[in-house]
Amino acid sequence: MSIARTGEFGLIERVVARLGTGPATIIGPGDDAAVVIASDGRVVASTDVLVEGRHFRRDWAEAEDIGRRAAAANLADIAAMGATATALLVGLCAPPDLDVAWAEQLSDGLATEAALVGASVVGGDMTASPTLTIAVTALGDLHGLPPVLRSGAQVGDVVALAGRVGFAAAGYTVLSRGFRTPKILVEAYRRPVVPYALGPAAGRAGATSMIDVSDGLIADLGHIAHASKVGVNLHRSAFKVPEQMRDAALALGVDPYQWLLAGGDDHALAATFPADVPLPEGWQVIGEVIEGSTVTLDNRPWYGPKGWDHFRA
Protein backbone atom coordinates (compact mmCIF):
# COMPACT_ATOMS: atom_id res chain seq x y z
CA MET A 1 0.00 0.00 0.00
CA SER A 2 1.32 3.45 -0.92
CA ILE A 3 1.48 6.38 1.49
CA ALA A 4 -0.79 8.29 -0.90
CA ARG A 5 -3.51 5.83 0.16
CA THR A 6 -2.98 6.08 3.91
CA GLY A 7 -2.55 9.86 3.71
CA GLU A 8 -0.35 11.98 5.94
CA PHE A 9 -2.28 11.40 9.16
CA GLY A 10 -2.80 7.69 8.53
CA LEU A 11 0.92 7.24 7.95
CA ILE A 12 1.84 9.23 11.06
CA GLU A 13 -0.56 7.11 13.12
CA ARG A 14 0.94 3.87 11.82
CA VAL A 15 4.51 5.00 12.40
CA VAL A 16 3.89 6.47 15.85
CA ALA A 17 2.22 3.23 16.96
CA ARG A 18 5.56 1.46 16.41
CA LEU A 19 7.71 3.87 18.39
CA GLY A 20 8.84 3.26 21.95
CA THR A 21 9.20 5.92 24.62
CA GLY A 22 12.58 6.70 26.17
CA PRO A 23 13.14 7.75 29.79
CA ALA A 24 13.77 11.40 28.80
CA THR A 25 10.43 11.78 26.99
CA ILE A 26 7.87 13.92 28.82
CA ILE A 27 5.56 14.50 25.82
CA GLY A 28 6.15 12.28 22.79
CA PRO A 29 4.73 12.34 19.27
CA GLY A 30 1.22 13.62 18.53
CA ASP A 31 1.13 17.18 19.83
CA ASP A 32 2.40 20.43 18.28
CA ALA A 33 5.81 19.74 19.82
CA ALA A 34 7.55 17.24 22.05
CA VAL A 35 8.83 17.92 25.56
CA VAL A 36 12.09 16.25 26.58
CA ILE A 37 14.15 16.28 29.78
CA ALA A 38 17.27 18.46 29.69
CA SER A 39 18.47 17.55 33.16
CA ASP A 40 21.14 20.19 33.73
CA GLY A 41 19.29 23.12 32.13
CA ARG A 42 21.05 22.78 28.76
CA VAL A 43 20.17 20.80 25.65
CA VAL A 44 22.56 19.62 22.93
CA ALA A 45 21.05 19.63 19.43
CA SER A 46 22.20 18.67 15.95
CA THR A 47 20.53 18.24 12.54
CA ASP A 48 21.59 16.05 9.60
CA VAL A 49 19.77 15.50 6.34
CA LEU A 50 20.05 12.39 4.14
CA VAL A 51 19.01 12.60 0.50
CA GLU A 52 18.31 9.56 -1.67
CA GLY A 53 20.95 8.98 -4.31
CA ARG A 54 23.50 11.00 -2.37
CA HIS A 55 23.47 9.58 1.16
CA PHE A 56 21.62 6.34 0.58
CA ARG A 57 20.26 4.12 -2.15
CA ARG A 58 17.17 1.99 -1.71
CA ASP A 59 18.72 -0.77 -3.83
CA TRP A 60 21.83 -0.90 -1.62
CA ALA A 61 20.23 -1.12 1.82
CA GLU A 62 16.98 -2.08 3.52
CA ALA A 63 14.76 0.67 4.92
CA GLU A 64 15.61 -0.36 8.47
CA ASP A 65 19.35 0.01 7.82
CA ILE A 66 18.79 3.41 6.22
CA GLY A 67 16.87 4.43 9.33
CA ARG A 68 19.67 3.20 11.57
CA ARG A 69 22.25 5.09 9.53
CA ALA A 70 20.19 8.29 9.54
CA ALA A 71 19.87 8.05 13.32
CA ALA A 72 23.55 7.17 13.77
CA ALA A 73 24.73 10.23 11.86
CA ASN A 74 22.93 12.45 14.37
CA LEU A 75 23.47 10.43 17.53
CA ALA A 76 27.23 10.46 16.79
CA ASP A 77 27.19 14.28 16.69
CA ILE A 78 25.65 14.32 20.16
CA ALA A 79 28.25 11.82 21.45
CA ALA A 80 31.02 13.97 19.94
CA MET A 81 30.01 16.81 22.27
CA GLY A 82 30.41 14.45 25.23
CA ALA A 83 26.64 14.18 25.63
CA THR A 84 24.13 11.34 25.76
CA ALA A 85 21.32 11.50 23.23
CA THR A 86 17.78 11.71 24.59
CA ALA A 87 15.51 12.16 21.57
CA LEU A 88 15.19 12.26 17.77
CA LEU A 89 12.84 14.30 15.61
CA VAL A 90 12.41 13.06 12.06
CA GLY A 91 11.23 14.89 8.95
CA LEU A 92 10.38 12.48 6.14
CA CYS A 93 9.84 13.76 2.59
CA ALA A 94 8.61 10.92 0.42
CA PRO A 95 7.21 10.30 -3.05
CA PRO A 96 3.48 9.49 -2.71
CA ASP A 97 4.03 6.05 -4.25
CA LEU A 98 6.39 5.03 -1.44
CA ASP A 99 5.29 1.81 0.17
CA VAL A 100 3.94 2.22 3.70
CA ALA A 101 5.98 -0.77 4.84
CA TRP A 102 9.17 1.01 3.74
CA ALA A 103 8.30 4.06 5.88
CA GLU A 104 7.44 1.80 8.81
CA GLN A 105 10.75 -0.06 8.55
CA LEU A 106 12.67 3.20 8.24
CA SER A 107 10.99 4.32 11.44
CA ASP A 108 11.84 1.00 13.12
CA GLY A 109 15.49 1.52 12.19
CA LEU A 110 15.52 5.05 13.59
CA ALA A 111 13.91 3.86 16.82
CA THR A 112 16.22 0.83 17.17
CA GLU A 113 19.38 2.88 16.75
CA ALA A 114 18.09 5.56 19.15
CA ALA A 115 17.28 2.89 21.73
CA LEU A 116 20.98 1.88 21.78
CA VAL A 117 21.63 5.06 23.76
CA GLY A 118 18.30 5.19 25.59
CA ALA A 119 16.79 7.78 23.23
CA SER A 120 13.52 7.63 21.32
CA VAL A 121 11.74 9.30 18.42
CA VAL A 122 9.62 12.07 19.97
CA GLY A 123 8.27 13.87 16.94
CA GLY A 124 8.57 14.77 13.32
CA ASP A 125 6.87 15.74 10.13
CA MET A 126 5.90 13.95 6.93
CA THR A 127 5.29 15.47 3.56
CA ALA A 128 5.28 14.52 -0.10
CA SER A 129 8.33 15.28 -2.23
CA PRO A 130 9.76 13.99 -5.51
CA THR A 131 13.04 13.33 -3.64
CA LEU A 132 13.07 10.89 -0.73
CA THR A 133 14.71 12.87 2.08
CA ILE A 134 15.22 12.12 5.76
CA ALA A 135 15.94 15.08 8.06
CA VAL A 136 16.89 14.05 11.58
CA THR A 137 17.45 16.22 14.62
CA ALA A 138 18.98 14.68 17.75
CA LEU A 139 18.79 16.15 21.24
CA GLY A 140 21.17 15.27 24.05
CA ASP A 141 22.01 15.80 27.69
CA LEU A 142 25.47 16.68 29.02
CA HIS A 143 24.56 15.63 32.58
CA GLY A 144 26.50 18.51 34.06
CA LEU A 145 29.70 18.06 32.03
CA PRO A 146 31.09 20.89 29.92
CA PRO A 147 30.60 20.28 26.17
CA VAL A 148 33.72 19.02 24.37
CA LEU A 149 34.25 21.44 21.47
CA ARG A 150 36.42 21.32 18.36
CA SER A 151 38.36 24.32 19.57
CA GLY A 152 40.09 23.06 22.72
CA ALA A 153 43.03 21.04 21.36
CA GLN A 154 46.41 22.09 22.81
CA VAL A 155 49.91 21.57 21.42
CA GLY A 156 51.29 18.47 23.15
CA ASP A 157 47.91 16.71 23.46
CA VAL A 158 47.61 13.19 22.12
CA VAL A 159 45.15 12.53 19.29
CA ALA A 160 42.99 9.45 19.84
CA LEU A 161 40.38 7.49 17.96
CA ALA A 162 37.38 5.45 19.16
CA GLY A 163 35.60 3.17 16.72
CA ARG A 164 36.59 2.04 13.28
CA VAL A 165 37.40 4.06 10.18
CA GLY A 166 37.46 3.13 6.50
CA PHE A 167 34.98 0.28 6.69
CA ALA A 168 31.95 2.22 5.44
CA ALA A 169 33.96 3.90 2.67
CA ALA A 170 35.31 0.51 1.59
CA GLY A 171 31.77 -0.90 1.63
CA TYR A 172 30.59 2.02 -0.48
CA THR A 173 33.33 1.38 -3.05
CA VAL A 174 32.49 -2.34 -3.10
CA LEU A 175 28.79 -1.61 -3.68
CA SER A 176 29.47 1.07 -6.28
CA ARG A 177 31.53 -1.44 -8.31
CA GLY A 178 28.55 -3.79 -8.30
CA PHE A 179 29.80 -6.28 -5.67
CA ARG A 180 28.03 -7.44 -2.53
CA THR A 181 31.02 -8.82 -0.58
CA PRO A 182 33.15 -8.76 1.58
CA LYS A 183 30.16 -8.72 3.85
CA ILE A 184 31.94 -7.00 6.76
CA LEU A 185 32.58 -3.93 4.57
CA VAL A 186 29.15 -3.84 2.95
CA GLU A 187 27.45 -4.23 6.33
CA ALA A 188 29.62 -1.44 7.77
CA TYR A 189 28.36 0.88 5.03
CA ARG A 190 24.75 -0.16 5.59
CA ARG A 191 24.78 0.06 9.35
CA PRO A 192 27.56 1.94 11.15
CA VAL A 193 28.67 0.66 14.55
CA VAL A 194 29.17 3.85 16.54
CA PRO A 195 30.94 3.92 19.94
CA TYR A 196 28.34 6.29 21.42
CA ALA A 197 29.28 5.78 25.07
CA LEU A 198 32.92 6.64 24.39
CA GLY A 199 31.95 10.28 23.73
CA PRO A 200 30.75 11.02 27.27
CA ALA A 201 33.59 8.80 28.56
CA ALA A 202 36.08 11.06 26.77
CA GLY A 203 34.38 14.14 28.22
CA ARG A 204 34.61 12.74 31.76
CA ALA A 205 38.28 11.85 31.19
CA GLY A 206 39.08 15.44 30.23
CA ALA A 207 39.21 15.36 26.43
CA THR A 208 40.21 18.83 25.19
CA SER A 209 38.47 18.53 21.81
CA MET A 210 36.33 15.98 19.98
CA ILE A 211 34.63 15.43 16.61
CA ASP A 212 32.51 12.81 14.89
CA VAL A 213 34.37 11.37 11.87
CA SER A 214 31.74 11.82 9.16
CA ASP A 215 33.66 13.63 6.42
CA GLY A 216 36.85 11.52 6.75
CA LEU A 217 39.54 11.46 9.43
CA ILE A 218 41.93 13.92 7.74
CA ALA A 219 39.10 16.33 6.94
CA ASP A 220 37.55 16.11 10.40
CA LEU A 221 40.85 16.47 12.25
CA GLY A 222 41.37 19.43 9.93
CA HIS A 223 38.21 20.94 11.46
CA ILE A 224 39.75 20.49 14.93
CA ALA A 225 43.08 21.94 13.74
CA HIS A 226 41.30 24.96 12.25
CA ALA A 227 39.06 25.57 15.28
CA SER A 228 41.91 25.03 17.77
CA LYS A 229 44.58 26.87 15.71
CA VAL A 230 46.94 23.89 15.93
CA GLY A 231 48.36 21.21 13.67
CA VAL A 232 47.76 17.48 13.92
CA ASN A 233 50.31 14.81 13.07
CA LEU A 234 49.05 11.25 12.59
CA HIS A 235 51.12 8.08 12.86
CA ARG A 236 50.66 5.83 9.86
CA SER A 237 51.69 2.89 12.05
CA ALA A 238 48.58 3.42 14.22
CA PHE A 239 46.40 2.34 11.30
CA LYS A 240 46.43 -1.36 10.62
CA VAL A 241 44.69 -2.31 7.40
CA PRO A 242 42.34 -5.19 8.30
CA GLU A 243 42.82 -8.28 6.15
CA GLN A 244 39.46 -8.10 4.36
CA MET A 245 39.97 -4.43 3.64
CA ARG A 246 43.43 -5.11 2.24
CA ASP A 247 42.10 -7.87 -0.01
CA ALA A 248 39.25 -5.69 -1.26
CA ALA A 249 41.63 -2.78 -1.87
CA LEU A 250 43.91 -5.03 -3.90
CA ALA A 251 41.02 -6.45 -5.92
CA LEU A 252 39.57 -2.99 -6.59
CA GLY A 253 42.86 -1.20 -7.15
CA VAL A 254 42.36 1.26 -4.29
CA ASP A 255 44.90 2.49 -1.72
CA PRO A 256 43.27 1.30 1.55
CA TYR A 257 44.67 4.35 3.37
CA GLN A 258 42.28 6.47 1.30
CA TRP A 259 39.45 4.57 2.97
CA LEU A 260 41.04 4.79 6.42
CA LEU A 261 42.05 8.44 6.28
CA ALA A 262 39.48 10.02 3.97
CA GLY A 263 36.42 7.79 4.32
CA GLY A 264 33.44 9.04 6.31
CA ASP A 265 30.26 7.35 7.41
CA ASP A 266 31.67 5.01 10.08
CA HIS A 267 31.02 7.75 12.63
CA ALA A 268 34.07 6.99 14.71
CA LEU A 269 34.97 9.62 17.30
CA ALA A 270 38.29 11.48 17.24
CA ALA A 271 39.47 13.47 20.25
CA THR A 272 42.47 15.09 21.84
CA PHE A 273 43.55 14.47 25.43
CA PRO A 274 46.28 15.99 27.61
CA ALA A 275 49.33 13.71 27.29
CA ASP A 276 49.26 12.76 30.98
CA VAL A 277 45.60 11.62 31.04
CA PRO A 278 44.95 7.87 30.97
CA LEU A 279 42.74 7.26 27.94
CA PRO A 280 39.33 5.70 28.65
CA GLU A 281 38.97 2.11 27.45
CA GLY A 282 38.18 1.95 23.74
CA TRP A 283 40.30 4.98 22.81
CA GLN A 284 43.67 4.51 21.12
CA VAL A 285 46.41 7.01 20.30
CA ILE A 286 46.82 7.80 16.59
CA GLY A 287 48.91 10.96 16.70
CA GLU A 288 49.70 14.21 18.48
CA VAL A 289 48.77 17.86 18.44
CA ILE A 290 51.60 20.03 17.12
CA GLU A 291 52.17 23.64 16.21
CA GLY A 292 50.87 24.44 12.76
CA SER A 293 47.56 24.49 10.93
CA THR A 294 47.31 21.30 8.90
CA VAL A 295 46.98 17.55 9.33
CA THR A 296 50.09 15.57 8.43
CA LEU A 297 50.87 11.85 8.29
CA ASP A 298 54.27 10.97 9.81
CA ASN A 299 55.11 14.69 9.50
CA ARG A 300 54.45 14.73 5.77
CA PRO A 301 51.51 16.30 3.90
CA TRP A 302 48.66 14.03 2.82
CA TYR A 303 48.11 14.29 -0.92
CA GLY A 304 45.14 11.94 -1.15
CA PRO A 305 41.53 13.07 -1.00
CA LYS A 306 40.75 14.66 2.36
CA GLY A 307 37.07 13.85 2.53
CA TRP A 308 33.67 14.77 1.39
CA ASP A 309 32.06 18.02 0.25
CA HIS A 310 28.35 17.56 -0.30
CA PHE A 311 27.97 20.08 -3.10
CA ARG A 312 31.08 18.97 -4.98
CA ALA A 313 31.38 15.22 -4.59
Confirm if 138 and 87 have CB atoms less than 8 A apart: yes
Shortest separation between residue 196's beta carbon and a copy of itself, angstroms: 13
Q: Is 107 annotated as a binding residue?
A: no
Q: Is 97 annotated as a binding residue?
A: no
Q: Which helix (H) or strand (E) holds 232?
A: strand 231-234
Which of 185-205 are b and which e, b meaning 16 or more Cβ less than 10 Å from the residue's Cβ?
bbbbbbbbbbbbebbbbbbeb
Cα dihedral across residues 117, 123, 126, 131: positive or negative: negative
Shortest separation between residue 126's beta carbon and a copy of itself, angstroms: 7
Shortest separation between residue 121's beta carbon and a copy of itself, angstroms: 11
Q: For residue 145, what are the CA distances in angstroms to 40, 168, 201? A: 9, 31, 11
Nearest to 16 by CA among 103, 86, 74: 103
In the bound state with a copy of itself, the residue whose beta carbon lies nearer, of 210 and 289, is: 210
Give the number of other Cβ atoms within 10 Å of residue 114's Cβ. Answer: 29
Surface-to-core class of residue 76, CB atoms within 10 Å of its CB (0-12 exposed, 13-18 middle, 19+ buried): buried
In the bound state with a copy of itself, the residue whose beta carbon lies nearer, of 52 and 187, is: 52
In the bound state with a copy of itself, the residue whose beta carbon lies nearer, of 185 and 201, is: 201
Residue 115 to residue 67: CA distance in whole angstroms? 13
Q: Is 124 annotated as a binding residue?
A: yes
Q: Is 310 annotated as a binding residue?
A: no
Q: Is 214 annotated as a binding residue?
A: yes
Shortest separation between residue 157's beta carbon and a copy of itself, angstroms: 18
In the bound state with a copy of itself, the residue whose beta carbon lies nearer, of 11 and 186, is: 11
Shortest separation between residue 209's beta carbon and a copy of itself, angstroms: 10
Give the number of other Cβ atoms within 10 Å of residue 104's Cβ. Answer: 18
Shortest separation between residue 256's beta carbon and a copy of itself, angstroms: 26
In the bound state with a copy of itself, the residue whose beta carbon lies nearer, of 47 and 284, is: 47
In the bound state with a copy of itself, the residue whose beta carbon lies nearer, of 174 and 230, is: 230
Q: Is 215 annotated as a binding residue?
A: yes
Q: Is 68 annotated as a binding residue?
A: no
Nearest to 44 by CA among 70, 68, 20, 79: 79
Q: For residue 221, what are the CA distances in angstroms to 26, 54, 101, 270? A: 37, 23, 40, 8
> Residues comprising the binding site for ATP?
124-125, 150, 214
> Residues comprising the binding site?
32, 46-48, 55, 77, 124-125, 150, 212, 214-215, 265, 308
> Residues comprising the binding site for Mg(2+)?
32, 46-48, 77, 125, 212, 215
